[in-house]
Amino acid sequence: MSAPHPSVGTLRARFGAAVLRTAVSCGDTFVVVARGQVHEVLAWLKGDPGERYDYLVDLTAVEYRDRERPIEIVWQLWSLGRRELLRVKTELPRDEPLEVDSSCDLWQAANWLEREVWDMFGVRFRGHPDLRRILMWENYAEGFPLRKDFPLRGRYSRSEQVRQALSGNLEAHYSMEELSLQEAEPYLPEKVREDLRDQGLEV
């Protein structure tokens, strides 16, 4: 057994009960943080001169086959100066909306990574500047592919998938952001109009 991860003690001392538990798996330490405090913890880990986890290696989600277990959001942090890895997790219970605070204000890399988690798992990141699908297309209607209740071959039959693809309006693949350009306006599909209205943008 090697020495415990140096950040575990400081995290516990600083945040106390917000650090729900820590564990070591295959030599890597991870810290599970309460959902409400996770942004605060990440900001502290990034900014504190003793921690300096300045590099966001990865941000992803994990859903277990056991449907009772909560969905986990995982941040892999790396300190370039201290050469230390730390994995921070938070758990999203099934009976509440899947939401967690965005870390886009801490790392610009979180922008696309959070979009991917939203796209694949349906987890909303509060405060994300542009939370829309990234790998699947804007009006993809089959749900969130990496969820365990999503069948491997997709929800729709192949013929339905082909029909939707062929009947789709190519202009609908433009994103919200581009649609602020006036000339794209006539091509907006109704769903995108709704989304824009929800975001308080005039079409």
Phi-psi region of 187 (alpha: psi -120 to 50; beta: other; left: phi over 0): alpha
As separate numbers, helices (DSSP H) first and strands (DSSP E) second, the chain gives 5, 7
CB of 101 or CB of 116, closer to other proteins: 116
CB of 99 or CB of 177, closer to other proteins: 177
In the complex, the smallest distance separating the C-beta of residue 95 from other proteins, rounded to whole angstroms, is 21
Query: Which residue type sits at 79?
Result: S
Beta strands in the chain (DSSP E): 19-25, 28-33, 55-62, 71-79, 84-92, 99-101, 124-126
In the complex, the smallest distance separating the C-beta of residue 4 from other proteins, rounded to whole angstroms, is 17
In the complex, the smallest distance separating the C-beta of residue 123 from other proteins, rounded to whole angstroms, is 14
CB of 36 or CB of 201, closer to other proteins: 201
In contact, 133 and 158? CB cutoff 8 Å: no
In the complex, the smallest distance separating the C-beta of residue 93 from other proteins, rounded to whole angstroms, is 18
CB of 8 or CB of 74, closer to other proteins: 74
Neighbours of 52 (CB within 10 A): 16
Interface contacts to other proteins, rule CB under 8 A: 25-28, 30, 54-58, 60, 62-66, 74, 76, 80, 83, 85, 87, 107-109, 111-113, 116, 120, 133-137, 145-146, 150, 152, 173-175, 177-178, 181, 183-184
Overall residue count recorded for the chain in this entry: 203
